[in-house]
Structure 1
């Protein structure tokens, strides 16, 4: 598959993940079940408590994620192609707009665009709880498929016992590093094929 075809596929995948994230994961969180607490004043065994305020009509963390992602793509696109025109109003359409607006940019700018889009696709999947997308990537250091997502550290960690840092700990990678490695490898293999 050519680098251009892979870029189109990655752009479509990221747009699809954004669409799913926006539709399914910004809905209002389900109310917590009724909470019961012991009331020491009345010696009543259990009493009901009610929330002090209504829940937000949507998951604000996901909304912040969507806004940050769209803003990053728009800012990058306008920096590379100031005459790109207005960005689309639908968040998932911003990726195709960016790809089209920067299609005549130099290879370095296109690779930077593809890296942002691919990284955001990984971020969208992880935001939806689908951290297995990390397992599909080889470790940039040892090349094995032994990466696992560590949500607390927000990094992919290689579990191969011989793939360690200088101090003997496991190697770990940010999503940006995985995206750079993926896009560079795709572009390199496309150049070798021609």
Structure 2
């Protein structure tokens, strides 16, 4: 299903949030920039909203594994970005439905991380689930992607909107279809 590629992207994006949005870069005495210290406790000020997002993401993954694979004995990694590989390792022997939900969860979080980091164009890569056109746009005010096709409307006549969870589910379903066709 390509979960390794998606989990690697999600982990990299979460690490970016930790490095640049929680652990704010500090100036060195010479005026240049120095790398963050990788310790959340040693830096201030920090972006509390991003820190809350990171904690919520890790908590959601842990709760998912606790529900789907309750006998998991492996401890949760200390590095937030390692939580995706941990999740995959602890659900790799579960049935396909569990793996599909896991991959959808990881991909949805990847989209959330990208949007939080300011890359709202990530939703443009997805086809509209309603009409199939490419070119969704992120609308922060409603927290969802909006189809710009004038013919793609709700029964009320409003533009069709799609949650990140819906886009993630569609993306994983498309990957499954492509992998089945390839074999």
User: Are 1:8 and 2:4 matched, yes or no?
Assistant: yes
Name the counterpart of 1:144: 133
Q: CA deviation at 1:83?
A: 2.6
Name the counterpart of 2:62: 74
Larger radius of gyration: 1
The two structures, once aligned, show a CA RMSD in angstroms of 1.7
**Equivalent residue of 1:149, what SS?**
strand
Q: Alignment partner for residue 124 of structure 1, among 98, 103, 113?
A: 113
Q: Alignment partner for residue 57 of structure 1, among 24, 27, 45?
A: 45
| Structure showing the higher strand proportion among its residues | 1
Q: How does 1:24-173 map to 2 (within 5 A)?
A: 24-28=20-24, 57-84=45-72, 85-173=74-162
Question: In structure 2, how many angstroms separate the alpha carbons of the residues matched to 1:135 and 1:165?
Answer: 20
Q: CA deviation at 1:193?
A: 2.3
Residues 141-165 of structure 1, C-alpha deviations (whole Å, 9 max, x = no match): 1111120000111010000111111
Q: CA deviation at 1:180?
A: 0.6
| Structure showing the higher helix proportion among its residues | 2
Q: CA deviation at 1:28?
A: 4.7
Question: In structure 1, how many angstroms separate the alpha carbons of the residues matched to 2:171 and 2:5?
Answer: 13
Q: CA deviation at 1:29?
A: 9.4
Question: In structure 1, how many angstroms separate the alpha carbons of the residues matched to 2:171 and 2:61?
Answer: 19
| Structure 1: 4+ residue segments shifted above 4 A | none
Note the residue ranges of structure 1 that are not aligned, 5 or more in a row: 31-55
Note the residue ranges of structure 2 that are not aligned, 5 or more in a row: 27-43
Question: In structure 2, how many angstroms separate the alpha carbons of the residues matched to 1:191 and 1:106?
Answer: 17
Residues 136-192 of structure 1, C-alpha deviations (whole Å, 9 max, x = no match): 111111111120000111010000111111121110000000001101111122122
